[in-house]
């Protein structure tokens, strides 16, 4: 595509529209993975001038969401879909609005619900959900975004993958964002949330980021921010 563009054979609009239309030919999950992987590669690519913006205008985010909905049971489609939509949105306002309008966050939530045992999907999903709480209010409403659902999914992911440090870092950072933006103390504490945070801090007592974000969350819910996990070496 870069060579074709440099030789003025194709333009960004033409390439974006052709690529987006090709989504309709994805009849198998493996086809969907291929399309989504290519979308992820093309969306931040400046080699073809204006291509990222043209992909959004052509409806590539809607096409990505459609593939995810079509193959909800395929974990690789869901993982690649979350990554592709994130890349397509980028830091573009038009991309964020398109993502909201096609129910992109609902696709992320569904992926997390259907693939609870996939730690990577849970990690990517937790990060995506955490970004939503920082959107303007009108965009959250358009996207039917709920920080309450996001918190529940985040706590579920934490409890299902207690040994995964990267997931715990992502989850605790997300919980800190929810607290900072919405003061959702009761939602965090419901169902033993404070105990869950302390349990993860104990499990990953040597991980500085888990401890940092864990203390942030504990402080936000009114617990002792200086609480420290007891390790076997330090227990009395």
**In the chain, where the domains are located:** 2-169
Q: Global pTM?
A: 0.92
Residue-level pLDDT at 236: 33
pLDDT tens digits along 149-159: 999 999 999 99
> What is the token pair recorded at 162?
């207690």
Q: How confident is the model at residue 225 (pLDDT cuts 50, 70, 90)?
A: confident
For 166, half-sphere exposure in the C-beta direction (CA atoms, 13 angstrom radius) is: 8
Residue-level pLDDT at 3: 74
Residue-level pLDDT at 9: 73
Residue-level pLDDT at 226: 85
Task: Say whether pLDDT at 2 is over 90.
Answer: no
- % of the chain surpassing 70 pLDDT: 95
Instruction: For the chain, give the mean pLDDT.
Output: 93
């Amino acid at each position: 595509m870069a060579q074709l563009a440099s030789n003025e054979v194709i333009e960004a609009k033409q390439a974006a529209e052709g690529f987006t239309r090709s989504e309709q030919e994805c009849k198998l999950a493996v086809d969907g993975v291929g399309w989504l992987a290519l979308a992820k590669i093309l969306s931040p690519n400046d080699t073809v001038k204006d291509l990222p913006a043209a992909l959004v205008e052509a409806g590539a985010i809607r096409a990505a969401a459609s593939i995810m909905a079509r193959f909800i049971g395929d974990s690789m489609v869901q993982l690649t879909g979350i990554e592709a939509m994130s890349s397509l949105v980028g830091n573009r306002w038009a991309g964020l609005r398109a993502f909201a309008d096609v129910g992109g966050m609902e696709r992320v939530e569904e992926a997390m619900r259907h693939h609870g045992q996939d730690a990577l999907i849970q990690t990517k999903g937790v990060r995506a959900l955490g970004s939503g709480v920082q959107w303007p209010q009108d965009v959250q409403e358009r996207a039917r975004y709920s920080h309450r659902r996001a918190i529940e999914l985040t706590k579920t992911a934490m409890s299902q993958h207690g040994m995964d440090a990267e997931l715990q870092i992502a989850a605790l950072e997300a919980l800190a964002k929810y607290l900072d933006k919405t003061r959702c103390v009761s939602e965090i504490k419901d169902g033993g949330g404070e105990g869950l945070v302390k349990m993860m801090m104990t499990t990953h007592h040597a991980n500085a980021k888990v401890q940092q974000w864990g203390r942030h969350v504990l402080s936000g819910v009114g617990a002792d921010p200086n609480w420290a996990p007891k390790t076997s070496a330090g227990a009395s």
